[in-house]
Structure 1
């Protein structure tokens, strides 16, 4: 069985447009879902060796920080956040 290929960590640093993501009727929406899934896939492929997946974890943290900063900036500017 071939192992599933996952994207490189740097491919998931930029979050998706969260306004588009929140148009779906779910409470569990995250523009950084791809980065999250990539980090979990990395853990699974490497027998949960966290040291082997640090780049994926950092990509998720960077994506999440960019997403939260964008939401803060939008609220300060009076733009709708959803």
Structure 2
């Protein structure tokens, strides 16, 4: 037979511990929209490496998530992020707003370079 509960536990627990909650933890409305962060990552004005990201994702899907077969795509994405990050740092130093060029400005920058730097 189990030992009786200590005298401190004979009284009901505070409401905080045993009352059912009306708010479900982790529940959120299903609106059919992407979360804000995911939407921002899909915006070509914010994400300069959207094409490279999509290419690496497609590669992973195509080759059943064999990372070795997609290493060229990963490297291209990594170099893209490095390149645009360096542009963003330089623009921030120069006081240019916004620090990340828009998609149209990025096209002009890439055309001026003549070839893809990554």
Q: If the TM-score is normalised by the length of the shorter chain, which range does it land in?
A: 0.5 to 0.7
Question: Which structure's relative contact order is higher, taking Cα pairs within 8 Å and 6+ residues apart?
Answer: 1
- Alignment of 1:34 with 2:51, yes or no, is yes
Q: How many pairs align?
A: 57
Q: Find the structure with the greater CA-based Rg.
A: 2
Unaligned runs of 5+ residues in structure 1 are 1-25
Cα deviation digits, residues 2-61 of structure 1 (max 9, x gap): xxxxxxxxxxxxxxxxxxxxxxxx633311010000000001111110000000000000
TM-score, structure 2 normalization: 0.45
Aligned counterpart for 2:95 among listed residues 67, 78, 81: 78
Q: Which of 68, 72, 82 is residue 55 of structure 1 equivalent to?
A: 72
**Aligned residue number for residue 20 of structure 1:** none
**Post-superposition, which runs of at least 4 consecutive aligned residues in structure 1 deviate over 2 A?**
26-29
